[in-house]
Structure 1
Amino acid sequence: MAVKFDQEKFDQWQELRKNLKEAKRSKAYEQVIGLCKEIIGLDRSAKFIQIMTPLFFKEMGAAYEKVGEEDSALEAYKAARDGFLKYREHNNLHSPDDWLKDIQALEKKIGKLEL
């Protein structure tokens, strides 16, 4: 069954990405967390967009770290790592190294937070 394109959801995606970029630039970390959660939630109802959710879990983890919420950062980083691993397992990769640097960086962050 083909996934149907929904212009309204696509426009919402574009707006969320724009707002996330602005929030990151202004270091509004609580807003970054909220926007990442919205983007991840949008992925559930807009699969046609093919949002790379691990990227937004990673962004959320970094924002949680900035506001001192280490447990939440750890949870977000683990979700990002697991998402990248799942993506590598179930998708055609352009290169055998796709996402490995991200996974390694996340492993390092997870290791530091688990101490």
Structure 2
Amino acid sequence: MEKNGIIDFEKVYGLEISTSKGQIFSRKRIENENGEVTFEFSCYQGIFHPVYDLSGLYFMVGYKGNIIKYVPEDDVYDDLMSNDADVLKKAINYVYQHAKHDLNKEKYAGK
């Protein structure tokens, strides 16, 4: 991964970011027994992973025991693959906050 003090960012898929407030954002590269690779993202209160199907990309987000299917309006996946800590942190937070907002909107609609 590192040669002559230079990091090959093409091979850096696992990344953990600690903020000054002690919050942790992370991206884990997971390879299953079939050799397929997926990614899992987590932040201080949530965890999610991307899913691809015929309808396109969406995220399955875990929040307080609930599983939320979140379909992003913006193309956030490239930012989730970034090795820039600030870009990655913002992208993880973006998916988490929007999924949480959708859950709360659904939960309290009509009340």
Q: Is the structural similarity TM-score above 0.5? A: no
Q: TM-score, normalised by structure 2?
A: 0.28
Higher helix share: 1
More strand by percentage: 2
Tell me the TM-score normalised to structure 1 length. 0.27
Which structure is higher in RCO with an 8 Å CA cutoff and minimum separation 6? Answer: 1
